[in-house]
Chain A
Amino acid sequence: MAKNNNLWQEFSKGLFKENPIFYIVLGLCPTLAITTSLENALGMSGAVIFVLTFSNVVISSIRKIVPDKIRIPCFIVVIASFVTITELLMQGYFPILVKHLGIFLPLIVVNCIIMGRAEAFAKNHKVIPSLLDGLGMGVGFSLAIILIAGMREFLGTGKILGRIVFRCFSPSLIFVLPPGALLTLGLLIALFNRIKKR
């Protein structure tokens, strides 16, 4: 029972308590740029969960073979391979989405969350906890960017997933522009800090 609890904790900590975006503020680079629409955010979420989970698993399973000195290049190669696999898969199945995500899809490689989890968790934990950690962090990341993207799409275009929600709402275009992204994230971080304090 205690063991299950532990595993559940590995998964759930990423959702809220250690949410990579709102609390640790990692992996922002691809976060903000693609959160102009909910659809993009969903696509990015899928890609990040996939890469984060599998790279965590692989890194944790090779953790005893890799010499400490060259571990970072090795980790990067592992991560980059999964990113490439994702890129190729998505190009095959969702070519339009790939166009929308643009350079931010290959840039998952340098997303600090993935390297961060490899360094902070996967390199000294067993495979199963690492898998759950990756999954949890990935889902936490996804929830955060879906929240941001939903707010930005709604405020900026009056739509959610491309459908108009309120007719009598004059959308504030700025929220789909860069300043709106920074503002939304700034206010959300402040809000979450507030919630966490309670």
Chain B
Amino acid sequence: MKNNLLVSFWPHIQMKDSITKIMWIVFLSLIPAGIAGVYFFGLHSLVLIFVSIVTAVFTEALIQLIRKKKITIYDGSAALTGLLLAYNLPPAVPFWIPIVGSFFAIAIAKQTFGGLGRNIFNPALSARVFLLLSWPTYMTAFVNPFGSADTISSATPLSTLKEGGRTLSDIGLTYMDLFLGRRAGCIGEVAIFLLLLGALVLLILKIITLHTPLSFIFMLAIFSWIFDKHGLFKGDVLFSIMSGGVILGAFFMATDYVTSPLTKKGKIVFGIGCGLITFIIRRFAGYPEGVSFSILIMNAFVPLIDRIFKPSVYGKK
């Protein structure tokens, strides 16, 4: 007799292959933005993406082999983690950076908790912050689009702003540049237009909801507008949304099933927290960008958020 009484951790998704399907759809929806990244920053980015995915999948298989568990690399979650990590890397990092990063993401941030569905923190983001703190010089050296890999240490729009730049034209960019991705930044975060397209697909297929991304972006935008460096209500809203990793973070990482709240209200609270912390870090702390940190911090709040906004029991009001 087949044992249907599988006691598993949330999300309690009924069909066995639906999680696999979702993972691969998210993976595919991210591909266009990656192609744009490779187009802007050259083939080295493609190598980084490839190395990152392979390491993630290999690590997952290795650990499952050691633990004598079923090997689940085809469910796409490890590949997705590798892809997201690569998208959060500057395009000129040496190839061993994604190897270390992907290993950390899978081995430490995911498998020590017991694997998919059990980790508390987003593996790709944990690894990204781990790399940022470990090798700050590599992780903050960016290249301009179409620049050769030798011309590193080009500043991102956000870091220029941090160092005293005032407006978009000071940086020599237009909103259109930001929208299409013609700016220095991480491999997968620059092509805003294509990321939004991918997010739209996920929204239509009901894989993600708008609660977290909207509250995240709204919170960040409104605070950036009100509390600008140059005076109250002087902030550049569009710039704050399109200049960093917010679109990638809000739509693709803050919506991760495992590490975000279950209920609508919880998702909104989660998004608000992310937006607020991102703003505080961008505006007051030492780092130019705070998206990864903010999602990581809010991940720690998820069990408490879920406890407060319990899903209502069927039959009760």
Contacts and interface: CB of A to CB of B under 8 A. Distances in A.
Contacts of B202: none
B33 to A, nearest CB: 28
Contacts of B312: none
Contact of A179 (B100, B133, B135, B136): B133
Contacts of B108: 183
Interface string B125-160: 000001001111000000000000000000000000
B107 to A, nearest CB: 10
A25 interface: no
B133 A177 contact: yes
A183 B129 CA distance: 14
A77 interface: no
A183 B108 CA distance: 9
A135 B133 CA distance: 38
Nearest to A177: B133
Contacts of A172: 100, 134-135
Nearest to A155: B134
B92 to A, nearest CB: 15
Contacts of A170: 135
Given A173-B133, A174-B133, A175-B134, 5 more contacts: A172-B100, A172-B134, A172-B135, A173-B135, A177-B133
Interface of A: 170, 172-175, 177, 179, 183
16 contacts: A170-B135, A172-B100, A172-B134, A172-B135, A173-B133, A173-B134, A173-B135, A173-B136, A174-B130, A174-B133, A174-B134, A175-B134, A177-B133, A179-B130, A179-B133, A183-B108
A-B complex: 4 closest residue pairs judged by Cβ atoms: A172-B134, A174-B134, A174-B133, A173-B134
